[in-house]
């Protein structure tokens, strides 16, 4: 993940968050499921379990969003680059200024080597050390703090910007930000050193300089020589000429009151000896000014890239994104429900059964369906008790042989029966098979014959009334036949209310 | 040997009389809450194929079919047209061909086709109804397919005729299993799939894989659900509600703002709870689930007494210790409270309760502070002007209440069969899930919650729930 990508990711996550807040979750889900599906179809291995996998996923997601995705990342990084160059330019100018100031020679006083070392080497080292300490201490994101500060300054924008949220997101990337800022800082410092170096060389080559050293500190020539020796330690072997000798140091000590060298030498002599000093100063600037900045910059740039490359992307928003994007490893798929089932209007849902009329007190032919056939005597008893009238006759239908059904119907037709009660076990369904039998009866007995259907449940060997919910599908199916003389009826069972 | 890619995946065709619960079983197995299920016989009108995929490979398939409507008539036709036992399957093929467009046998044709195409039948009976001769015709037709199959006993009512059915079914099927479509849990579903392995030898390996894949996916899902609940805890424990005050607001206006805080805080917590629930439901394929929930169960004044803590399996000494520990985490002792500045538990969770007033005198649940308070600088560094704010939660009980509610809900969702079309019943679950977990688990979770509270009070809210908390929650969800 590079910076541009990260910016785009954050912008898009912010947009999605707003969409979620507006209740457009379905939209996001559909969009991301489609993208995830397309990525799968391309044969990519999608994996949200590792930081690496998540980064690839996020990048692929941003690519897939294409035109609809944010375009801010490139502009932001471009702006950042321009800013870095401008900063470098400014730092270079400051470097030039600093070198000119410390190397200013007016022919009256020699350039103070001590001042040069203090400003261009000492101060730089202190600043670098302070930066490293700040870096190691970590702490809050500077950008987050800036946002919070801005929100305090301009309270109106607070809510509109969602400053708290933005600060929170920025805080997530505090480490990456720290390294980036550090690297940026080092680049500026490099420019500073280059500016100083160039100025240094320019002044040395094109003007006359006399070097001396003076300090209000208790510092003798030997100590100064030792100090210079330590500073020059790194290049002592490689460039012996750039190491000031004790003699040179002693000769160059300058007392300010009155302005003269302690040895009493004249300034023009010092100008001749300046070559010995400037090589030392240039080497010091190279080794103690420029080199540490180059190293720090290389390291910071590397770390900045690494931190970005290792961003965990495991925060809540990202997790929600990956959940939308990645279909579960295993899943079911099937047809749309509308394509396979009864339309909702034809279903029963939670409809309750209508009250069912009791079996009428009239002479009735009994037809026992299937399972009730062997128990037809018990059923017959029940009907007799329920209606106070003995059934006129009993027939068996719904058995294994279709011929038996036909025979039963033929008997009823022959007897010109006008009242039939079909009794079935509760649990038997109003299949086309049963309805067909009723249709045949209607056809053979004529439109005026009363046809009733009753259900009896088997409770531990005893016949019991079926529950109302079981009657409902029967009512619904019989209603559809549009037959006024056909309906579900209730058999009173003693002992059952 | 043909290469693996050309082998048809195992296909199980769920058949039976109408209204036996075929679609219910398919819905439970495929976790599909959208499959048409209804008390109207003939709800399923066309065969519907559901494929279980791992990646882009189909591991096995389940086919839901219309129920038998005229099995006796179909069998009579077959018997009339068959000359010997040797041509029975051919006769069936002939039956399907001849009646392809015949409305009289439309259901039988549609249910037989996928079997003749190579599927194995899963014959479903509703064992709350007695055996009928029509069922014999159905089983006989299935026998004519020459395919091996299996019978599944489902019950749609209390009555049980299973004893009567079993010996009959074993005459036709070498495998007979019980499966309660409405009560089936993940473990029950896996059991049924394990039985599917026995239907055909060559399907044993792929079905073994299917079971393994399903277990892995379930584990992954458990993790995601735990993360969602963990996320809820992180969010809820850090929540801060703020109400701006006019520069010139008087004591009355401030009191009103404080009262409004209570309602807003409660609403915010409820919204977070709802969002986490929707996520858990989404993960389990239960979108748009209605829940019947006893909101008031948690509003009982009793909750604030020590007795209610037994619901979380916490004893009095434990509680005391917890109270002190939580006091340390929040920088204040739990019982150091001022009625006027505390939000009541009822206000935080209950719907439609008359503000915090009912809960005065209860331990402090959340701090209430203004722009001068020390929390203001830490938690709302960007805020300007006068305001009153509440949060984060301080009383140890509320996080536990929230957590238990979330776990109870998640457990109910995870156990819910996709065959059900009624509302999710969360009532009567006063005995929470937390109480059933071992003490070490509770101590761990307590420590995690306290760490969250501590973090919330320093304004350092984690972007994702701590791994350890998620692991513990996963344990609780996976517990049987
Ligand atoms: N109580 C209970 N009811 C069930 C169970 N299984 C199915 N039902 C109910 O029985 C009725 C029929 O269920 P379906 O799954 O539609 O049955 P089906 O066999 O697919 O029916 P058709 O498609 O009409 O052939 C519905 O009202 C279900 O709610 C169960 O295990 N318990
Ligand atoms: Mg169905």
Domain ranges of chain A: 3-71+314-337, 73-309, 362-488
B105 shares contact with chain A (CB less than 8 Å): no
Query: How does residue B323 score in pLDDT terms, banded at 50, 70 and 90?
Result: low
Q: How far is the CA of B195 from the centre of ligand 2 (A)?
A: 22
Q: Which atom of ligand 1 is nearest to the CA of B421?
A: 29
- Cβ contact A98:A196 at 8 Å: yes
Share of chain B above pLDDT 70, in %: 80
Q: How far is the CA of B19 from the centre of ligand 2 (A)?
A: 7
Cβ of B29 closer than 6 Å to ligand 1, yes or no, is no
Query: How does residue A155 score in pLDDT terms, banded at 50, 70 and 90?
Result: low
Ranking B100-114, B293-307, B414-428, B437-451 by mean pLDDT, the lowest is: B293-307
Look up the CATH architecture of domain A362-488.
3-Layer(aba) Sandwich (3.40)
Looking at residue B302, what is its pLDDT? Answer: 38
Tokens (6 digits) for B347: 């206000």
Domains observed in chain B: 11-199 (3.40.50.300), 223-478 (no CATH)
Q: How far is CA B215 from the centre of its chain?
A: 16
Mean pLDDT over A104-121 rounds to 88
pTM: 0.73
Return the DSSP state at B174: S
Those residues with Cβ within 8 angstroms of residue A40's Cβ, 6 or more apart along the chain or in another chain? A46, A327, B55, B56
Looking at residue A235, what is its pLDDT? Answer: 93
Looking at residue A269, what is its pLDDT? Answer: 77
Backbone phi and psi for residue A322, each to the nearest 5 degrees, phi listed first: -65, -35
Looking at residue A444, what is its pLDDT? Answer: 95
Residues 198-257 of B with CB under 8 A from A: 213-214, 216-217, 220-221, 224, 227, 231, 234
Which residues from chain A sit within 8 angstroms of residue B136, using beta carbons? 400
Looking at every residue in chain A, the average pLDDT score rounds to: 88
Mean pLDDT over B466-480 rounds to 91
Q: Is the peptide bond before A153 cis (omega within 30 degrees of 0)?
A: no
Mean pLDDT over B398-427 rounds to 86
Identify the CA nearest to B153 among candidates B115, B120, B118, B195: B195
- What is the count of residue pairs from A and B with beta carbons less than 8 Å apart? 183
Looking at residue A389, what is its pLDDT? Answer: 85
Radius of gyration of chain B (CA): 29
Most confident of A237-251, B72-86, B215-229, B331-345: B72-86
Ranking A118-127, A281-290, A487-496 by mean pLDDT, the lowest is: A487-496
Q: Could you give the residue ranges of the DSSP H alpha helices within A103-154?
A: 113-116, 124-137, 142-153
What is the Cα–Cα distance from A375 to B321, expressed in whole angstroms? 71
What is the Cα–Cα distance from A473 to B222, expressed in whole angstroms? 40
Q: How far is the CA of A434 from the centre of ligand 1 (A)?
A: 20
- Cβ contact B216:A329 at 8 Å: yes
Interval A391-449: pLDDT, tens: 999 999 999 999 999 999 999 999 999 999 999 999 999 999 999 999 999 999 999 99
Q: How far is the CA of A247 from the centre of ligand 1 (A)?
A: 108
- Cβ contact A436:A408 at 8 Å: no
Give helix then strand counts, H and E, for chain A. Answer: 19, 11
Give the residue, B320 or B393, on which the prediction is more confident: B393
Give the residue, A300 or B430, on which the prediction is more confident: A300
What is the Cα–Cα distance from A229 to A244, expressed in whole angstroms? 7
Q: Do B214 and A333 touch (CB under 8 A)?
A: no
Cβ of B430 closer than 6 Å to ligand 1, yes or no, is no
Helix B204-237, helix B439-457: angle, nearest 10? 50
Looking at residue A161, what is its pLDDT? Answer: 52
Mean pLDDT over A8-25 rounds to 87
Give the residue, B397 or B404, on which the prediction is more confident: B404
Mean pLDDT over B434-463 rounds to 83
Q: Do A332 and B129 touch (CB under 8 A)?
A: no
Tokens (6 digits) for A352: 């309750």
Identify the CA nearest to A170 among candidates A161, A160, A159, A182: A161
Q: Is the peptide bond before B392 cis (omega within 30 degrees of 0)?
A: yes
Cβ of B23 closer than 6 Å to ligand 1, yes or no, is yes
Ligand nearest, relative to CA of residue B107? 1
Q: Using the predicted structure, report yes or no on whether residue B314 has a pLDDT greater than 60.
A: no
Give the residue, A202 or B298, on which the prediction is more confident: A202
Mean pLDDT over B47-74 rounds to 94
Query: How does residue A109 score in pLDDT terms, banded at 50, 70 and 90?
Result: confident
Looking at residue B344, what is its pLDDT? Answer: 32
Q: Using the predicted structure, report yes or no on whether residue B125 has a pLDDT greater than 90.
A: yes
Looking at every residue in chain B, the average pLDDT score rounds to: 81
Tokens (6 digits) for A282: 């240039």
Query: How does residue B317 score in pLDDT terms, banded at 50, 70 and 90?
Result: low
The complex scores an ipTM of 0.83
Q: Using the predicted structure, report yes or no on whether residue B386 has a pLDDT greater than 90.
A: no
Nearest residue on chain B to A426, alpha-carbon basis: B129
Cβ of B188 closer than 6 Å to ligand 1, yes or no, is no
Looking at residue B427, what is its pLDDT? Answer: 62
Q: How many CB atoms lie within 10 A of CB B384?
A: 15
3-class state of residue A236 by DSSP: coil
Q: Using the predicted structure, report yes or no on whether residue B342 has a pLDDT greater than 60.
A: no
Looking at residue A419, what is its pLDDT? Answer: 93
- Cβ contact A211:A111 at 8 Å: yes
Residue A241 distance to chain B (closest CA, Å): 57
Identify the CA nearest to A281 among candidates A238, A235, A329: A235
What is the Cα–Cα distance from A171 to A147, expressed in whole angstroms? 11
Q: Could you give the residue ranges of the DSSP H alpha helices within B306-459?
A: 316-330, 345-349, 374-379, 397-415, 439-457
Looking at residue B59, what is its pLDDT? Answer: 93
A215-218 long-range contacts, Cβ below 8 Å, gap at least 24? A215/A114
């Amino acid at each position: 993940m590079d910076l541009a990508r990260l910016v785009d990711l954050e912008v898009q996550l912010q947009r999605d968050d707003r969409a979620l807040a507006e209740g457009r979750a379905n939209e996001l889900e559909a969009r991301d499921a489609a993208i995830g599906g397309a990525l799968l179809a391309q044969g990519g291995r999608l994996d949200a379990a590792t930081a690496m996998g998540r980064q690839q996923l996020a990048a692929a997601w941003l690519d897939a969003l294409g035109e609809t995705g944010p375009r801010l990342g490139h502009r932001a990084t471009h702006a950042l680059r321009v800013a870095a160059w401008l900063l470098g330019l400014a730092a270079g100018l400051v470097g030039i200024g600093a070198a000119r100031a410390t190397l200013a020679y007016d022919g009256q006083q020699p350039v103070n080597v001590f001042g040069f070392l203090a400003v261009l080497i000492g101060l730089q080292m202190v600043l670098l050390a302070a930066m490293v300490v700040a870096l190691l201490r970590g702490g809050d994101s500077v950008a987050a703090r800036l946002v919070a500060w801005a929100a305090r300054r301009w309270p109106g924008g607070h809510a509109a910007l969602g400053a708290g949220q933005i600060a929170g997101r920025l805080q997530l990337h505090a480490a990456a930000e720290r390294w980036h800022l550090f690297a940026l800082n080092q680049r500026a410092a490099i420019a500073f050193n280059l500016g100083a170096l160039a100025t240094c060389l320019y002044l040395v080559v094109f003007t006359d300089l006399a070097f001396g050293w003076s300090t209000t500190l208790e510092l003798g020539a030997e100590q100064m020589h030792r100090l210079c020796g330590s500073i020059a330690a790194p290049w002592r072997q490689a460039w012996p000429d750039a190491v000031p000798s004790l003699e040179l140091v002693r000769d160059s000590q300058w007392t300010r009151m009155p302005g003269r060298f302690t040895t009493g030498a004249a300034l023009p002599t010092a100008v001749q000896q300046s070559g010995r000093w400037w090589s030392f100063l240039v080497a010091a600037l190279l080794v103690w000014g420029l080199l540490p900045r180059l190293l720090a910059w290389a390291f910071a740039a590397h770390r900045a890239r690494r931190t970005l490359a290792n961003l965990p992307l495991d925060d809540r928003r990202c997790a929600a994104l990956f959940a939308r994007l990645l279909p579960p490893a295993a899943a079911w798929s099937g047809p749309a429900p509308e394509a396979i089932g009864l339309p909702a209007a034809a279903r029963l849902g939670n409809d309750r059964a209508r009250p069912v009329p009791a079996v009428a007190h009239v002479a009735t032919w009994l037809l026992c369906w299937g399972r009730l056939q062997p128990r037809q005597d018990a059923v017959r008893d029940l009907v007799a008790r329920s209606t106070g009238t003995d059934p006129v006759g009993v027939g068996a239908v719904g058995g294994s042989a279709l011929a038996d059904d036909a025979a039963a119907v033929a008997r009823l037709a022959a007897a010109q029966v006008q009242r039939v009660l079909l009794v079935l076990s509760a649990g038997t369904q109003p299949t086309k098979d049963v309805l067909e039998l009723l249709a045949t009866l209607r056809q053979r007995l004529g439109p005026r014959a009363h046809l009733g259907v009753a259900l009896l449940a088997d409770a531990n060997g005893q016949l019991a009334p079926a529950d109302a919910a079981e009657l409902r599908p029967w009512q619904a199916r019989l209603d559809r036949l549009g037959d006024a003389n056909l309906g579900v009826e209730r058999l009173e069972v003693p002992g059952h209310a | 040997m043909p290469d693996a890619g050309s082998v048809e995946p195992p296909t199980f065709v769920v058949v039976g009389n109408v209204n036996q619960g075929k679609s219910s079983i398919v819905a439970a197995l495929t976790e599909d809450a959208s499959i048409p299920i209804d008390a109207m016989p003939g709800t399923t009108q066309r065969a519907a194929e559901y494929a279980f995929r791992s990646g882009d490979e189909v591991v096995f398939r389940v086919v839901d079919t219309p129920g038998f409507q005229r099995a006796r008539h179909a069998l009579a036709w077959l018997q009339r047209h068959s000359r010997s036992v040797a041509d029975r399957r051919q006769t069936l093929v002939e039956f399907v061909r001849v009646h392809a467009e015949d409305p009289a046998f439309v259901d039988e044709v549609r249910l037989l086709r996928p079997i003749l195409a190579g599927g194995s039948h899963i014959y479903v009976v509703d064992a709350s109804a007695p055996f009928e001769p029509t069922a014999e015709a159905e089983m006989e037709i299935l026998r004519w397919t020459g395919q091996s199959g299996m019978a599944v006993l489902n019950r749609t009512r209390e009555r049980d005729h299973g004893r009567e059915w079993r010996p009959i079914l074993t005459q036709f099927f070498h495998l007979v299993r019980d499966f309660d479509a409405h009560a089936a849990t993940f473990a029950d579903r896996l059991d049924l799939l394990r039985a599917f392995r026995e239907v055909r030898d060559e399907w044993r390996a792929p079905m073994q894989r299917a079971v393994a894949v399903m277990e892995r996916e379930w584990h992954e899902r458990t993790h995601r659900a735990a993360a969602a609940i963990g996320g809820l805890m992180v969010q809820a424990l850090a929540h801060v509600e703020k109400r701006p005050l006019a520069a010139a607001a008087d004591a009355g206006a401030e009191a009103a703002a404080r009262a409004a805080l209570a309602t807003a805080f409660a609403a915010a917590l409820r919204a977070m709870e709802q969002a986490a629930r929707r996520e858990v439901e989404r993960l389990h394929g239960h979108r748009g689930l209605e829940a019947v929930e006893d909101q008031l169960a948690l509003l009982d004044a009793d909750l604030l007494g020590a007795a209610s803590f037994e619901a979380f399996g916490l004893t009095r000494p434990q509680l005391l210790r917890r109270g002190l520990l939580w006091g340390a985490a929040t920088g204040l002792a739990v019982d150091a409270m001022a009625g006027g500045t505390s939000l009541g538990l009822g206000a935080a969770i209950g719907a439609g309760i008359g503000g915090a007033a009912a809960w005065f005198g209860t331990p402090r649940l959340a701090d209430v502070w203004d722009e001068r308070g020390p929390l203001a600088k830490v938690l709302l560094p960007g805020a300007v002007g006068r305001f009153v704010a509440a949060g984060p939660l301080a009383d140890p009980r509320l996080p536990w209440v929230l957590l238990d509610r979330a776990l109870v809900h998640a457990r109910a969702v995870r156990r819910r069969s996709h065959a059900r079309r009624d509302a999710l019943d969360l009532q009567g679950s006063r005995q929470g899930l937390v109480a059933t977990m071992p003490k070490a688990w509770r101590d761990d979770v307590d420590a995690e919650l306290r760490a969250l509270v501590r973090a919330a009070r320093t304004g350092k809210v984690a972007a994702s729930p701590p791994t350890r908390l998620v692991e513990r929650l996963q344990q609780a969800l996976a517990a049987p």
